[in-house]
C-alpha cells in the first residue's frame, strides 16, 4: 500500500509531495517537513497524509508537531484477531508434549491445543473459538 504526504494550500495547490510504499520513509518525511520546512509550513494551510488513497492525516499546519504526529491514523499492523478477547499465554511444557501438540495441529502447536480444547471442552470451547463477527 502506498503512502503520500504533502502540504496543501488554500488555493488548492500542493507542495513537497512524496509517494512511497514504506511507512518508515513516510514517517521520517513527516518529521522532516515539521522540523526543517518551517517557512513553507507557515505558508501552507494543511499537512495531508494518505495511505492507499484514504486520508490518514489532515491537520492545519498551525498545530504543534506533537499534535500532528499523534494524529496520524496509521493502520494497525498484523492480522486482526479472529477470536473474542484473546489472551496470550506462555507456559513451559515437555518437548514431547510440544511435539504431540504440533502433530495434532498439523505442525502448529496452538492449532493442536485448540483442537484438544474443543474436543475436551465441548460446545462451550467450540463457541469460544468461533470467529468474531
Q: Give residue-wise pLDDT tens across range 9-43.
A: 999 999 999 999 999 999 999 999 999 988 988 99
131 or 67, which is more confident: 67
Angle between helices 109-121 and 95-104 (to 10 degrees): 80
Q: Is the pLDDT of residue 94 over 70?
A: yes
Res 37: pLDDT: 87
Tens digit of pLDDT for each residue in 37-83?
A: 889 889 999 999 999 889 999 999 999 999 999 999 988 777 777 77
- CB neighbours of 60 closer than 8 A, spacing ≥ 6? 45, 46
Query: What are 96-128's pLDDT values in tens digits?
Result: 999 999 999 999 998 999 999 999 998 888 888
pTM for the model: 0.59
Cβ proximity of 111 and 105 under 8 Å:
yes
Count CA within 13 A, CB hemisphere, residue 17: 7
In this structure, are residues 45 and 10 in contact, taking their beta carbons and an 8 Å threshold? yes
The confidence score (pLDDT) of residue 49 equals: 95
pLDDT at 122: 87
Residue for grid cell 506462555: 90
DSSP 107: T
Please tell me whether residue 75 adopts helix, strand or coil conformation: coil
Q: Tell which wins on pLDDT, 1 or 67.
A: 67
Q: Say if residue 1's pLDDT is above 70.
A: no
Amino acid at each position: 500500500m502506498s503512502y503520500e504526504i504533502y502540504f496543501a494550500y488554500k488555493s488548492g495547490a500542493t507542495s513537497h509531495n512524496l509517494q512511497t510504499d514504506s511507512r518508515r520513509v513516510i514517517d521520517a518525511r513527516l518529521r522532516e517537513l515539521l522540523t526543517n520546512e518551517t517557512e513553507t509550513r507557515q505558508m501552507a494551510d494543511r499537512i495531508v497524509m494518505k495511505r492507499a488513497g484514504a486520508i490518514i492525516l489532515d491537520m492545519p499546519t498551525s498545530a504543534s508537531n506533537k499534535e500532528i504526529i499523534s494524529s496520524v491514523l496509521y493502520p494497525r499492523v498484523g492480522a486482526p484477531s479472529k477470536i473474542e478477547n484473546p489472551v496470550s499465554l506462555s507456559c513451559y511444557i515437555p518437548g514431547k508434549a510440544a511435539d504431540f501438540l504440533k502433530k495434532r495441529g498439523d505442525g502448529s502447536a496452538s492449532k493442536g491445543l485448540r483442537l484438544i480444547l474443543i474436543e475436551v471442552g465441548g460446545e462451550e470451547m467450540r463457541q469460544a473459538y468461533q470467529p468474531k463477527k
